[in-house]
Amino acid sequence: MHISSLSSLTPKINKTLFFLTFLASFFIFANSTYAAGEAWYDSSWSNRVQIAIDADNIDGTLVDFPVYVDLSDLPSGFHNTVRTSGCDIRMTQADGQTEVPFELVAQDGANNSGELFFLASNVSGINDTDFYLYFGNASSSCYVADEVYGSQAVWSQYSYVSHDGGATDSTEFGSNGIAVGGISSGDAGVMGIGTSFDGVDDEWDLPASTETFPVGDIDRTYQFWTKFNSTNSKPVLLEYGGASSGQLVRLELSEGSMVWRPYTYTDIESDPVYTMGDFQLVTVTYNSLSKEVSFYRNGADVGGGVFDGKLYATVGKYYSQQLGARVVGTNRLDGLLDEVRFKKNITSADQILAEFVNQNSASTFYTVGVVVGTGTATTSNFVSLADDVIDEIENSIEYLSVLPVYEDLMAKITKTYGKGRLVKSDRKLAKFKTFVTDGLGKILFSNSERQEIKSIIKDMQDILLDEG
């Protein structure tokens, strides 16, 4: 049912829906310019769009969190304006001026798609965290990878990051994969492109580097977006080291469990929860102090154990590393790798969960605002409603909260519009009621607040249309 088809609705629903639609109209047009007093990155940039990370997706506070942005989530105004090279893109914190590093992995203006990561120094689990993406500058230069706000700065905490399943490394170490068996990247992944492995002779050999693959008993985190097509050969995601140099790490799948298989020591296994045929995020952490190995699947803890030895190796003749196979050429992966990341520290459980939510369903992790230009703010940019309209809105809220199928409808909206822990429409209803009781129409709202209210109204309209 559409807004224009209201004749079948009951009078009470009809009236309630009318006032919500009436209210929404105030927030649709007031987004073409930014408000006076709001900071702007640089007058040479013509436009920006807000990206707000929903606090409901964050447990605790995240520090130095690489945020994935699916460029297909951005408005058409971005794709119609941004340069093909993306050299006009800049990212800032909520103040609109303080820059943050970013990496533009891919951009396809013809199809309104692409992949971008930016480094959020702090993401709150209490209040939504805002950022701005600026664009629209015909003469700006692309950042060089090793500049302060260049791509390598996004991954300063990492020793290896590949967005294509192993072919290229975005960190400062540049450990690009060497193709074996005719392997090449370009297959569809979770966030962009990945690499398919045929289970016969495909692998990526990575350069012997103590930066990418550290020697010694230190903290570390390994993460893979992967899909297993079969498990006949106990497929290996990663192995490096060797028997003659001291096996450092082998991560393989065995009977549904991820296995940490060190040389001469006892294996550590996850719960048997890994599946065939579906993309899943595999994360493994090692704590050098407690010797604990922890496994995660799609952000959830799935077991582990205490390692009874230590990690060691020397770089020499037998020191090598592969993605998708053992160093001796067995246990080959029949499946696909997309994002692959290694760190020389431990990623927290809160961040691992947030990474899954962000990468698995980016549009539910953040809210994208409308394109805003460098105009002069006028009173038409703000909202002011009469007291009698506010009264009607309050009545509408009360009616929504006592609908006999309210909980079922909330569940339906959550299933339709969000995955995991988003969308919490009951929370939105409560927040909207706060807007009203705090004096909606008597104060001026910022662009981010207008976007929040519009989102709330949309959910409530859906409730009424489903009920009708």
Domain carrying residue 70 = 47-154+361-373
**Closest by Cα among 99, 112, 110, 101 to 70:** 112
Residue 40 lies in a domain: no
State the amino acid at position 149 in one-letter form: Y
Distance from C-alpha of 262 to C-alpha of 47, rounded to nearest angstrom = 52
Give the range among 9-23, 209-223, 242-256, 299-313 with minimum mean pLDDT.
Answer: 9-23
Give the residue carrying structure tokens 């951005």.
Answer: 74
Q: What is the rounded average pLDDT of the residues 233-248? A: 72
Residue 131's domain is classified under what CATH number?
2.60.40.1180
Residue 434's domain is classified under what CATH number?
1.20.120
Verify that 208 and 336 share a domain, yes or no: yes
309-318 burial code (b ≥16 CB/10 A, e <16): eebebeeeee
Verify that 133 and 233 share a domain, yes or no: no
Verify that 326 and 271 share a domain, yes or no: yes
Verify that 411 and 450 share a domain, yes or no: yes
Q: What is the rounded average pLDDT of the residues 262-282? A: 88
Verify that 59 and 23 share a domain, yes or no: no
Pick 223 or 212 by higher pLDDT: 223
Verify that 204 and 91 share a domain, yes or no: no
- The pLDDT value given to residue 42: 93
Residue 187 lies in a domain: yes
Verify that 208 and 74 share a domain, yes or no: no
Pick 360 or 387 by higher pLDDT: 360
Q: Encoding tokens for residue 284?
A: 């493994």
Verify that 253 and 318 share a domain, yes or no: yes
Distance from C-alpha of 456 to C-alpha of 23, rounded to nearest angstrom = 11
Q: What is the rounded average pLDDT of the residues 315-326? A: 70
Residue 141 lies in a domain: yes
Instruction: Supply the mean pLDDT for the chain.
Output: 78
| Sign of the dihedral defined by the CA atoms of residues 50, 54, 55, 61, in that order | negative
Judged against a pLDDT cut of 50, whether residue 377 lies above it is answered with no
Verify that 142 and 245 share a domain, yes or no: no
Pick 2 or 355 by higher pLDDT: 355
Residue 317 lies in a domain: yes
DSSP structure class, residue 346: P
Residue 218's domain is classified under what CATH number?
2.60.120.200
> Angle, to 10 degrees, between the axis of helix 387-401 and the axis of helix 425-437?
150
Judged against a pLDDT cut of 60, whether residue 323 lies above it is answered with yes
Secondary structure element (H or E) that encloses residue 48, with its range: strand 47-53
Number of structural domains the chain divides into = 3
CB neighbourhood size of 420 (10 A): 17
Q: What percent of the chain has pLDDT over 90?
A: 54
Q: What is the pLDDT of residues 395-414, one digit of tens each?
A: 555 555 544 444 554 454 44
Q: What is the pLDDT of residues 137-152, one digit of tens each?
A: 999 999 999 999 999 9
**Which pLDDT band, with edges at 50, 70 and 90, does 334 fall under?**
very high
Verify that 339 and 248 share a domain, yes or no: yes
Residue 356 lies in a domain: no
Residue 35 lies in a domain: no
Q: What is the rounded average pLDDT of the residues 452-465? A: 60
- The pLDDT value given to residue 208: 75
Verify that 97 and 218 share a domain, yes or no: no
Show the beta-strand stretches assigned E in 82-169.
90-92, 99-100, 102-108, 113-123, 129-135, 158-162
Q: What is the pLDDT of residues 94-117, one digit of tens each?
A: 999 999 999 999 999 889 999 999
Q: What is the rounded average pLDDT of the residues 45-70? A: 94
Residue 247 lies in a domain: yes
Residue 350 lies in a domain: no
Verify that 189 and 304 share a domain, yes or no: yes
**Closest by Cα among 93, 88, 120 to 104:** 88
Judged against a pLDDT cut of 50, whether residue 376 lies above it is answered with no
